[in-house]
């Protein structure tokens, strides 16, 4: 959007479509939608711009930005967006991964369970939180266990749809480990469901993806038995 460009109100039909899309949590692609110029602006400039914009949001809501408790909020929110909860948007923040030879010749599934999922719904910018369970079968290469957690965290730190998050983690592990034998299972709660709309505090969303040997029933059964034990 160009500077000083007027944002025109949406018509009723467009708003209705947006409402329907948001409530259904539809993912439009496996890749996070990004503009080509997404990283032309520096982090510091992004923080300054978001700070100014969020100041206007708070002021529009009628809040007194001269109050000691509120006057630092626009900066804190802007810094949080760029440096923390959305830092996974920038490929420069992708965790560095070192592969190792599978010297033990371990050819069974390796499972990392109960990995923390802390992400943000891209439709309402509200938190998503839960657990991810990841498994793979080595084709000759392995990575450190903590690196799996870092991969999950990297893809969580961006506006997300849970279906996309699941596939992004899977595709990255398949690429890194050079194996098709990968399983992902995510069970998460969405605050856009629990704090607005239907306000359901008890429900959670489950997504899964299986490839290679995990498409076979026996392997999936072993995986599920392990993560639910």
Q: What pLDDT shows up at residue 194? A: 82
Average pLDDT value for the chain: 91
Q: What pLDDT shows up at residue 83? A: 97
How far CA 66 is from CA of 52, 69, 72, 110, 228, in Å, comes to 15, 8, 9, 54, 51
Q: What pLDDT shows up at residue 17? A: 73
Instruction: Indicate the burial class of 28 (C-beta count within 10 angstroms; 0-12, 13-18, 19 or more).
Output: exposed
- Average of per-residue pLDDT across 41-54: 97
| Domain definitions of the chain by residue range | 40-89, 100-227
Rounded to whole angstroms, the Cα distance separating 94 from 157 reads: 10
User: What is the token pair recorded at 123?
Assistant: 């439709």
- Average of per-residue pLDDT across 26-35: 83
What is the DSSP annotation of 134-148? Answer: EEEE-SSEE--HHHH
Which range (20-34, 69-83, 91-105) has the least confidence?
20-34
Q: What pLDDT shows up at residue 2? A: 44
Tens-digit pLDDT profile for residues 116-171: 999 999 999 999 999 999 999 999 999 998 999 999 999 999 999 999 999 999 99
Annotated catalytic sites, by residue?
121-124, 162, 190, 192
Architecture of the domain defined by 100-227: 2-Layer Sandwich (3.30)
Is the model's pLDDT at 1 over the cut of 50?
no
- Average of per-residue pLDDT across 18-39: 78
The hierarchical CATH code for the domain 40-89 is 1.10.286.10
Q: What pLDDT shows up at residue 24? A: 62
Q: What residue spans of the chain are helical by DSSP H?
A: 12-24, 43-60, 73-80, 145-156, 162-177, 191-194, 217-227
Task: Please state the pTM of the whole predicted model.
Answer: 0.89
Instruction: Indicate the burial class of 174 (C-beta count within 10 angstroms; 0-12, 13-18, 19 or more).
Output: middle
Highest average pLDDT, of 10-24, 37-51, 190-204, comes from 37-51
Helix, strand and coil in the chain, % to nearest 5: 40, 20, 40
Q: What pLDDT shows up at residue 66? A: 96
Is the model's pLDDT at 103 over the cut of 50?
yes
């Amino acid at each position: 959007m160009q500077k000083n460009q007027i944002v025109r109100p949406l018509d009723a039909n467009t708003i209705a479509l947006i409402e329907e899309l948001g409530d259904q949590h539809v993912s439009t692609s496996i890749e996070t939608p990004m503009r080509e110029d997404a990283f032309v602006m520096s982090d510091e400039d992004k923080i300054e711009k978001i700070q100014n914009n969020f100041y206007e949001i708070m002021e529009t809501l009628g809040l007194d930005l001269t109050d000691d408790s509120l006057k630092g909020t626009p900066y804190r929110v802007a810094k949080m967006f760029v440096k923390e909860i959305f830092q996974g948007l920038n490929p420069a923040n992708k965790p560095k991964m070192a592969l190792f030879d599978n010297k033990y010749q371990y050819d069974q599934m390796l499972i990392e369970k109960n990995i923390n999922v802390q992400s943000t719904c891209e439709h309402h910018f509200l938190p998503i939180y839960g657990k991810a369970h990841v498994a793979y079968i080595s084709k000759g290469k392995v990575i450190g266990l903590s690196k799996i957690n870092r991969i999950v965290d990297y893809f969580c730190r961006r506006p997300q749809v849970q279906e996309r998050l699941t596939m992004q983690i899977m595709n990255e592990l398949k690429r890194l480990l050079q194996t098709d034998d990968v399983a992902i299972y995510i069970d998460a709660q969405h605050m856009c469901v629990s704090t607005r709309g239907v306000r359901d505090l008890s429900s959670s969303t489950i997504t899964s993806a299986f490839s290679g040997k995990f498409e076979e029933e026996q392997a999936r059964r072993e995986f599920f038995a392990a993560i639910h034990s």
